[in-house]
Amino acid sequence: MSSQVRNEILSKIKSAQRNDPLPRPQLPFLSERALDREQMLERFTAELTSQTGTVYRAKDRKDAERVLSEIAAAEGFKQVIAVGKNLQGIDIKSFGNSNGITVRTLADLKDREALRKAAFAADAGITSADFAIAETGTLGIIFSKDQPRLASIAPPVHIAIVSIEKLYPVYEDAVKQVFGNVNEIPSQFAFITGPSATADIQAISFKGMHGPTKVIVIFIMGQ
């Protein structure tokens, strides 16, 4: 039945007059491509900060654990959900133990229901972002078995740990890697730029509509 409808719609537009579109103009120039790593980091920080996000630079994974502990103490986290393939080497359980925080990782969650319960109850979601894009202070996350979707959208605070190696100038750099091989396209890839927001009532804007109210990015500068 649907194939008949499809054929009907397609044959209607196929039999219409065809105009050959003009050749494309030159691809617009993206000035961000010229940035070096320090400039990219500055641009990323300025852009994300303008969206009320916070950016930290950690020397290494040990330093990242220290930064995480400081954030946890300041925000008063009681329970967090932490996902992402080995989280850039951070020992997240020991972070939880030493700060008195209940940390749930994927190993603790047996199915979708358990994940939903943990993600909606968590004070923060800690994720490992696959890309950071300087252009607009944007995170790029590939969702997979190691990286469920809810961890970065349901909790009120989203903390993303990113290796500095994954900082790129423009969106195209990430998309080429994620969509380059047709057989390895993830079920979802998302760009996240700052906390969720709205201005739907009287054009008064505020952060924290349905997703996180705060977004914190920790760059790991070395090993």
Partner 1 sequence: MHNRVDKFKETARAEMKNELSQAFLLMLSLGAPIMRQIGMSSFPDPAAAEAYGRAIRTESIERLPELLEEFKKNAQAKGAKVIWARDSAEAKASVLDIAKKRGINYITKGKSMVTEEIGLNEHLISNGVDVFETDLGEVITQMLSRAPFHIVGPALNVPPEEISAVFLKRGVIKQPTVNPVELGKAVREYMREKFRYLDMGIVGVNMAVAETGTIINVENEGNIRMNKSSPRTLVAIMSIEKVVPTMADALHMVRILSRNCTGQKLTGYVSMDTGPKKSDEMDGPEELFIIIVDNGRSEIYRDIKVREILKCIRCGACLNACPIYAKIGGYPYGFSYSGPMGQILNPMLLGIEHTSDLFRACTLCGACKKICPAGIDHPSIILEYRARQIKDRKHQTLSARFENNLATCSSLAMSSSMLWNLAVKTVRPLFNSLAEDGYIRDMPFGAKGWFSCRNLRAMPDKTFHEIWKKLNLPNPDDVRKKETL
- Considering the complex, state which of residue 203 and residue 223 has its C-beta at the smaller distance from partner 1: 203
Nearer to partner 1 by Cβ, of 74 and 203: the residue is 203
Closest contact distance (angstroms) between CB of 42 and partner 1 is 16
Rounded to a whole number of angstroms, the distance between the first and last alpha carbons of the chain is 57
Residue 34 CB, nearest approach to partner 1 (Å): 10
Which of 46, 73 has the CB closer to partner 1? 46
Helices (H), 51-179: 61-75, 92-99, 112-121, 171-179
**Considering the complex, what minimum distance in angstroms separates the CB of residue 74 from partner 1?**
22
As measured in angstroms, the least distance from the Cβ of 50 to partner 1 is: 10
Both tokens of 141, joined, read: 């996350």
What DSSP assignment string belongs to 32-76?
GGG--HHHHHHHHHHHHHHTT-EEEEESSHHHHHHHHHHHHHHHT
Do residues 174 and 140 touch, judged by C-beta distance below 8 A? yes
Tell me if 134 sits within 8 A of 123, measured CB to CB.
no
**Cβ closest to partner 1, residue 67 vs residue 154:** 154
**Nearest distance from C-beta of residue 62 to partner 1, angstroms:** 29
> Do 221 and 57 touch, CB atoms closer than 8 A?
yes
Q: How far is the CB of 98 from partner 1 (least distance, A)?
A: 27
- Is 58 within 8 Å of 70 (Cβ atoms)? no
In the bound state with partner 1, the residue whose beta carbon lies nearer, of 128 and 220, is: 128
**Contact criterion met (CB below 8 Å) for 156 and 179:** no
**Which residue lies nearer to partner 1 by CB, 17 or 223?**
17
